[in-house]
Amino acid sequence: MYDPIMNEDLEGDKVRIAEPAPFEIVKKLVSVEVVLESTDFATARLVYGEGLNPDRWTLVEEKSLSLRQSTGRWQWDTRDLSGLYILQAVLLDESGQVTLHSIPVRVDNSPPEVEINIWAGEEPINQGDEVVVDVTAADNYGIKKVELYLDDEELIEWENPPYNIRLFAESGAYELYARVTDTAGLTSETEPVTLKVE
Q: Which fold has domain 6-107?
A: Immunoglobulin-like (2.60.40)
Residue-wise pLDDT tens digits, 41-68: 889 999 999 999 999 999 999 999 876 6
* Per-residue pLDDT band at 120 (split at 50, 70, 90): confident
Task: Just give the CATH number of 113-197.
Answer: 2.60.40.10
Residue-wise pLDDT tens digits, 166-177: 999 889 999 999
Contact between residue 132 and residue 119 where contact means Cβ atoms under 8 Å apart: yes
* Mean pLDDT of all residues in 89-110: 92
- Residue 1, pLDDT > 60, answer no
Domain extent listing, the chain: 6-107, 113-197
Same CATH topology for 6-107 and 113-197: the answer is yes
Query: How many Å apart are CA 53 and CA 75, to the nearest integer?
Result: 23
Query: How many Å apart are CA 140 and CA 116, to the nearest integer?
Result: 19
Supply the pLDDT for residue 5: 41
Of residues 100, 99, 71, the one with CA closest to residue 87:
100
Q: Classify residue 189 as exposed, middle or buried by CB count within 10 Å of its CB (0-12, 13-18, 19+).
A: middle
